[in-house]
Structure 1
Amino acid sequence: MNTTPTAPPRPRYDDAALDALCAQGDPLADETVAEMFRRGEVGDLNTLMRFFTTTGDPLPERLPASARAYFEATAMPPSWVDWDLMEQARLFFMDNAAHINTGLSFAAMPATYAVPRIARLLSSTHSLDYPSRRMANTGQFVTYLMRTDSFAEGSTFIPAAQKVRLLHAAIRHHLRHGGHWDLAKDGIPICQEDMIGGQICFSLLVLDAMHRLGIHMSEEGAEAYFYAWRVVGAMLGCDLSAAPRTLTEARDFCDLYLLRNLGPSPEGARLTAQLTRLYEDVVPGTLFDPMVPATVRYLVGDTIGDWLEVPRSAWDTAARAVPVFLGLLETIEDSSPYAEWALDKAGSLLAGFELASLTRGRVMHHAIPAELRPDFGVKPPRTGRWVPPAPVH
């Protein structure tokens, strides 16, 4: 008798499945935030959370009881984590830090802006008045994730993930109870469809961007990087029974998600303009400023580039030559272990410089908003070489 366990069936993604995900939030975090708002404890929590930044630290004594239960329940990574795969993901990140940051900044982030309901949601928060804050938070979060001790005592990643999950729940709470979000049209704000979609944007779309830039990656490295983001998704409240388990499944989900949701919006164009200005400020001098929108357009394509009102210029041709330049660097890197060490070190330093420029050397804290932007109309409630999987036809 064959007792070999069979793999669970491959998830089936269709409009009905994603419609169901669009109606789901994150019960644990949502209930925690609702209780804190009912008790008026959000301000106390934000103050105390600045002193809870590393795994293993005792929770603040005056932490509200509703929040204490949440932090205790989410204090450990999922029990199913494969730590060998996580180490592969960390090494992949170390080898490709600058390229990953480029994919996040110039492809994944603009792609989220091309989803109108996400762009409207992002525009509702105070922090988008300061676009560097979201990029700094994202970059710092990824850096925390890929450290050697990211899940060990004394690490900063798990508390950051716990806070981000509560932040998402707080935004959901405001928008659902403020009467200014079309639940019938857009579903639950930061719904499971968008949470899983965000996990895929920061994994698969980053890998897609690296592939488009001509970066050589092994199949194992790409799968490990995706796996690390699956772990992140679990810690941020994604429903893993519906989330893709492999890059091939991620492609199935991603194709349908983007087909259903991509489109133009004034908020998306505004956010993209803020993003390009931000990175033009990071690049020293002004000579190469036009390369920023040209790189965004090259990585997201002309259709999304036009929706986001990314300007066209003669620099678009230069952006298409980037893979040739990076291919030359990889040839040099493969020529000797010293060249490999030097280029990896340079990439790490470049990624560190970019993050330092965005954070201005500060630690970014995730606070639960007591209210959203007044002009949005929401008032606080009284309560080898990796080849991308083929698209689905």
Structure 2
Amino acid sequence: MNTTLVRYTDDFLSAMREQTDTAADDLLERCFSSEEGKLVLRHFLTDLNDNEQLLKLPELLQNESLLCNAAQLPEWANLKQMQTGAAFFARYAALIMNMLGLLSLPYCYAAADGAKVLYHSERLRNDVGKRLRETGEFVWQVMSPDAFAPEGQGFATIIKVRMMHAMARYYTLKSSHWQAAWGQPVNQEDMAGTNLSFSLLVIRGLRKLDIAVSYADQQAFMHLWNVIGHLLGVDQKLLPVDGQQAIDLEQTISCRQIKPSEEGRALTKSLTDYITGANLTKGRIGAKETVQLMRFLMGDEIADVIDLPAGRVPASAINLLKLAGMFQEFKVVPSVNNEYRQQYSQFKKQHAGL
């Protein structure tokens, strides 16, 4: 991994807004140049469920280096740290999954220019439940203890999302509503910000709930997300090597991108309407308190940008959210795999039929 100190200046990040994921974009262009290629790629991605399938590419795709190398970790990946990061996730999985809907996604919506591509994808705006389930499944699959083993799903899931981003860019640029001033759709700065929302912001949210996260666990969890970010096509210069560099990057992106927008407010309303209407808390926390929890976790400044209602969350709601993590802190975990499976089973049951 490139450990050279990168200065996250406005000029640097402005240049990153004009850069995308060239390898994925080029692959898509080649496949979409013919109906046969488009059909083969779509069928392959639809049927792709586990890492072993990446070793059996369709004939038309066998010379595509991106797919041929999709099941390889970067040279700098530290397997021990990745295992520690996965174990950390298994320990706090219920809380971390809550953080995605209450903190990570609305944080992304507060970034005005990045929110535009999400807004103009009507599926993301009008089918919030499916968006949440897909995001949840993605996280479970890449956080699995065997995610990057032959029998795992991590590599397969990541390349599917990477190509989905390329398709979003492809179709967005062909539409009439995209403006050059917004940068490229799903650009490097936005991808880096999203990666931070799943790593740094989750750690920050846990600590705001008074969950003691050690520096070693923080580094391991963020290293695991750096590996995932790399496999998703994020530029290595945008993968922070430590907590301070991550904070510097997040703060610089926030200063540049966090601002009010119609798109951000609309996406947030769709999200809060779904979370409260679908009763994901099973009645333990009311609709009003759920939205107040979002404000508490992300802070008033960002909450105001996406037009969350003002209000102070009651301590009882915070305590209910914390229970998922606090009780686990005192549990004897016989196996990371067992803990992961138990938590994943609960997630599946919670979202069944929604």
Q: Give the TM bin, normalised by the shorter chain.
A: 0.7 to 0.9
Quote the offset at 1:120 in angstroms.
1.3
Query: What CA RMSD, in Å, does the superposition of the two structures yield over aligned residues?
Result: 2.9
Structure 1 counterpart of 2:34: 39
Structure 1 counterpart of 2:13: 18
Render the CA deviation track for 1:65-121: whole Å, top value 9, x for unaligned.
388543113222223211000111011011111121122211111000001122211
Q: Higher mean Cα deviation, 159-168 or 46-55?
A: 46-55
Report percent identity of matched pairs.
Answer: 26
1:353 to 328, 340, 346: 346
Structure 2 counterpart of 1:177: 174
Distance 1:328 1:235, change over 3 A: closer
Q: Distance in 1 between matches of 2:324 and 2:284?
A: 26
Distance 1:269 1:359, change over 3 A: farther
Q: Which amino acid is 1:82 matched to? A: N
Q: Distance in 2 between matches of 1:327 and 1:287?
A: 12
Question: Which structure is higher in helix share?
Answer: 2
Q: Which amino acid is 2:84 matched to? A: Q
Q: Which amino acid is 1:279 matched to? A: I
Task: Note if 1:50 corresponds to 2:46.
Answer: yes
Distance 1:101 1:9, change over 3 A: same
2:130 to 130, 133, 149: 133
Q: Which amino acid is 1:213 matched to? A: L
Quote the offset at 1:48 in angstroms.
3.2
- 1:133 partner SS: helix
Distance 1:326 1:356, change over 3 A: closer
Runs of 4+ in 1 over 4 A off after TM superposition: 58-63, 66-69, 345-352
Render the CA deviation track for 1:167-206: whole Å, top value 9, x for unaligned.
11111122223343112x1111111111111111111111
Task: Note if 1:105 corresponds to 2:101.
Answer: yes
Do 2:284 and 2:320's aligned partners in 1 also have CA atoms closer than 8 Å? no
Q: TM-score under structure 1 normalisation?
A: 0.80
Q: Which runs of 5+ in 2 are unaligned?
A: none
Q: Distance in 1 between matches of 2:14 and 2:210?
A: 36
Structure 1 counterpart of 2:81: 85
Render the CA deviation track for 1:295-353: whole Å, top value 9, x for unaligned.
1111112222222222235xx331586259838974x666x656x78xxx999756643
* Higher Cα radius of gyration: 1
Where do residues 281-300 of structure 1 align in structure 2 (5 Å cutoff)? Answer: 281=278, 282-285=280-283, 288-300=286-298
Structure 1 counterpart of 2:301: 303
1:65 to 39, 61, 79: 61
- 2:287 partner SS: coil
Distance 1:58 1:23, change over 3 A: closer
Quote the offset at 1:51 in angstroms.
2.3
Q: Which runs of 5+ in 1 are unaligned?
A: 1-6, 362-393
Q: Distance in 2 between matches of 1:54 and 1:27?
A: 24
Q: Distance in 2 between matches of 1:226 and 1:171?
A: 26
Q: Which amino acid is 2:47 matched to? A: F
Quote the offset at 1:43 in angstroms.
3.7
Do 1:13 and 1:256's aligned partners in 2 also have CA atoms closer than 8 Å? yes
Q: Distance in 2 between matches of 1:286 and 1:94?
A: 23
Render the CA deviation track for 1:192-226: whole Å, top value 9, x for unaligned.
11111111111111111111111111110011101
Q: TM-score under structure 2 normalisation?
A: 0.88
Structure 2 counterpart of 1:378: none
Do 1:98 and 1:348's aligned partners in 2 also have CA atoms closer than 8 Å? no
Where do residues 1-393 of structure 1 align in structure 2 (5 Å cutoff)? Answer: 8-40=3-35, 41-57=37-53, 62=58, 64-65=60-61, 68-128=64-124, 129-183=126-180, 185-280=181-276, 281=278, 282-285=280-283, 288-313=286-311, 316-318=312-314, 322=318, 326=322, 330=326, 352-358=345-351, 360=353
Quote the offset at 1:275 in angstroms.
1.3
Quote the offset at 1:49 in angstroms.
2.5
Distance 1:284 1:34, change over 3 A: same
Q: Distance in 2 between matches of 1:54 and 1:321?
A: 38
Structure 2 counterpart of 1:366: none
Distance 1:151 1:311, change over 3 A: same
Distance 1:319 1:171, change over 3 A: farther
* Alignment: residue pair count: 347
Q: Distance in 2 between matches of 1:310 and 1:277?
A: 12
Structure 2 counterpart of 1:391: none
